[in-house]
Structure 1
């Protein structure tokens, strides 16, 4: 009972947590491995999988639209951040646009507070001059005019089924699932076509996304507790070409939950989910220290995925396996295109809470590369090339806590 009280207090106040250990961490990956079932379960908008969970306690919930125009080189994301820290709820629209094919292209990065926001019908989101709406055909539209430097009208049309891991995609923190005091949740629409326009009124830039060549990824995520208590590090990659996609979403908890790792990945072909590995290794190679932040950034990655091929996902959610397979995504990252100081992007009252927590200094290192190669164990001679958006996020430096 005492530990439950401690967990409840720390989740509200932001104070450092005691070391509960792995016994207080109940991951979705451990559950699906224990059940010896294929981790993949279909996620649908009609089944409320893509609804905003909108818990009343401290949380951060995001809806993120990644896009990559393979012909013109434009890539980036639009994101809604819906945050509740117990005393107030805020919403933010962030947008990033990058292009490595245009020399001296000045990337767009905006972060804009939303006004008069609301969740409609569970899954739609509205604010002044912004709307996210699911259509009857399963497509998803985002329209934003909240910032003149990032006017967007985008339609995401799924090419594959949505994905969640297990029947319940939540990872729980606490003495047991029944006595949880926090959770982490992800649901994916892993491969979409994207249509629409992006406009920057400041520079006059107008981007018409290339029909048939622009692909997207939609992710809903919920950190249902203080983010720096839920995870100390993140690894993310979205690799895509005209025939395949690969997504990795991995986080590691602070030592309070045993430095436990949850690693989920999705691999698709043109129109079907083919594997959802949960036994993955995300290795950073050739790290260089960033003297300004104290963190290190990578020059190369070697990400390995071990899972079961999916035999058939068209009939129902009882997915059959077609044998074990391993994938490897490897190659240089070349340049950091952005180092995001997260503390510069959050409201002041959130900053006041988080800045008082020892060793919490969140930074996101973002990369874009066309130099990664994807291989698979059942096709020895196959080497798949594509474009990749890669992120490495650091939140809590436990080395400082130990000093």
Structure 2
């Protein structure tokens, strides 16, 4: 009975899912066994705009040639259970010399839409336009006077997905999956244009990386942790995205990576690794914050040459630590941490005092080239089972090599951690909109529950009253999706 209740609670409230295990996920690595990667066409960059719970992001990471600034420009399209869609434009400027605080701007967009072929996005005072030949994006935003964006990002090497489609699928029937994850990359781009702040325009002529990500399910069920690397040198670009699923899907690790130079993808696919080689416990979040890292890539070129690459070293002083739920009231955070099991934090790095080096071997040729790294480590939920140690790794250590964290509550993530395809800043404005939808819906649920109680001449509302009401509505509220379990009824024993 307790397991049945937990499953229903997960369906209804977005809390931890039952343990389906690794058989309920088919990673993109299965596709990559036959085809390591597939180069992108213009059609591969069209927005999907799903009508079910999903988060879709197009993110551009910029490194100015003068070495003074990093930046993010991003559009996030979020659908909450098919009943509410929110679109956000985000920008963030990092002042690498420490002369100014980082500038983060996030604006909810109005009157959003797409071009006829869904390759370009538009909203009031915002446009993300893909050129007809599919080689460049123009990004314009006038939504926040603190960050007026006017950029052009031009692809310098082919884009790619791992495998044939780039898709990782979730579900107990993988022929009819209930969720998916996909990442598409332009690993090496040229940037031009400006972001204008109150202090004047900042020239972002330099290098860029573009990531197009789609999570076709509740994001907190898709991934528990993320690691991201964007490394740019004068000659090469090395990119990597790794996520680890919650225990619901066997704490499965999926890694997509590639190395490119102008005009060519050297390797792309799933044969990459991440290791946090030194960590410390963050006193605020209690997560094992990385201090040193090692990324590796391996594969074969088109002509069959073996390729091995590594970047390792100290991350230096972190650029930023983002408490994703910082704008949420403390009591709400406690409820979410307890019920949904989440405490999402993002750690951002770009070593400046001691630059890192890409060590690359192509066949018999060995190359070393210093470059600039932008990296993120995101912790959303514990990758451990309810009763035991970590799944798939030795007891006594966390998945990333730090001390094991044994808490009574796991941290299976919340709805919207999807920056780049899973990792997202949740703004207070998004919560305001969702709150309005939830309040209206919950009033209907409560009113119906009262009617049932009065009809039964009972004095209290039970969980089953709520479930019965939600089922009767026949529509999923975000996280409220009781499914089609034909055994469910008010007569089930408590």
TM bracket, shorter-chain basis: 0.7 to 0.9
Return closer, same or farther for 1:82/1:8 CA change in 2, 3 Å cut-off: farther
Contact 2:14–2:340, Cα closer than 8 Å, also in 1: no
Deviation, structure 1 residue 359: 2.4
Q: How does 1:163-312 map to 2 (within 5 A)?
A: 163-201=160-198, 204-210=199-205, 214-311=206-303
Return closer, same or farther for 1:60/1:31 CA change in 2, 3 Å cut-off: same
Deviation, structure 1 residue 327: 1.0
Contact 1:51–1:123, Cα closer than 8 Å, also in 2: yes
| 1:256 partner SS | helix
Deviation, structure 1 residue 336: 1.0
Residue 372 in structure 1 maps to residue 372 in structure 2: no
Contact 1:118–1:127, Cα closer than 8 Å, also in 2: yes
Partner of residue 317, structure 1: none
Of the three residues 139, 145, 150, the one matched with 1:148 is 145
Residue 20 in structure 1 maps to residue 20 in structure 2: yes
Of the three residues 43, 63, 70, the one matched with 1:68 is 63
Deviation, structure 1 residue 110: 1.2
Deviation, structure 1 residue 59: 1.0
Deviation, structure 1 residue 310: 2.7
Contact 2:32–2:164, Cα closer than 8 Å, also in 1: no
Contact 2:341–2:409, Cα closer than 8 Å, also in 1: no
Of the three residues 59, 81, 98, the one matched with 2:94 is 98
Residue 385 in structure 1 maps to residue 370 in structure 2: yes
Deviation, structure 1 residue 273: 0.8
Greater share of strand: 1
Which TM-score applies when normalising by structure 2? 0.72
Of the three residues 362, 376, 381, the one matched with 1:396 is 381
Deviation, structure 1 residue 119: 2.5
Return closer, same or farther for 1:73/1:205 CA change in 2, 3 Å cut-off: same
Return closer, same or farther for 1:380/1:335 CA change in 2, 3 Å cut-off: farther
| 1:123 partner SS | coil
Return closer, same or farther for 1:92/1:133 CA change in 2, 3 Å cut-off: same
Residues in 2 aligned to 1:15 and 1:91: alpha-carbon distance in whole angstroms: 24
Partner of residue 122, structure 2: 126
| 1:276 partner SS | strand
Structure with bigger gyration radius: 2
Contact 1:373–1:385, Cα closer than 8 Å, also in 2: yes
Partner of residue 105, structure 2: 110
Residues in 2 aligned to 1:291 and 1:122: alpha-carbon distance in whole angstroms: 45
Deviation, structure 1 residue 103: 4.6
Residues in 1 aligned to 2:237 and 2:39: alpha-carbon distance in whole angstroms: 17
Partner of residue 323, structure 1: 305
Q: Which moved more, 1:264-273 or 1:66-75?
A: 66-75
Partner of residue 316, structure 1: none
Residues in 2 aligned to 1:259 and 1:343: alpha-carbon distance in whole angstroms: 24
| 1:148 partner SS | coil
Which TM-score applies when normalising by structure 1? 0.87
Structure 1 residues without counterparts, runs of 5 or longer: 312-321
Contact 2:56–2:78, Cα closer than 8 Å, also in 1: yes
Contact 2:31–2:164, Cα closer than 8 Å, also in 1: no
Q: How does 1:324-343 map to 2 (within 5 A)?
A: 324-343=306-325
Deviating beyond 3 angstroms after TM superposition, the runs of 4 or more aligned structure 1 residues are 6-13, 344-348, 350-358, 377-381
Structure 2 residues without counterparts, runs of 5 or longer: 385-405, 411-494
How many pairs were matched up?
A: 377
Residues in 2 aligned to 1:277 and 1:209: alpha-carbon distance in whole angstroms: 29
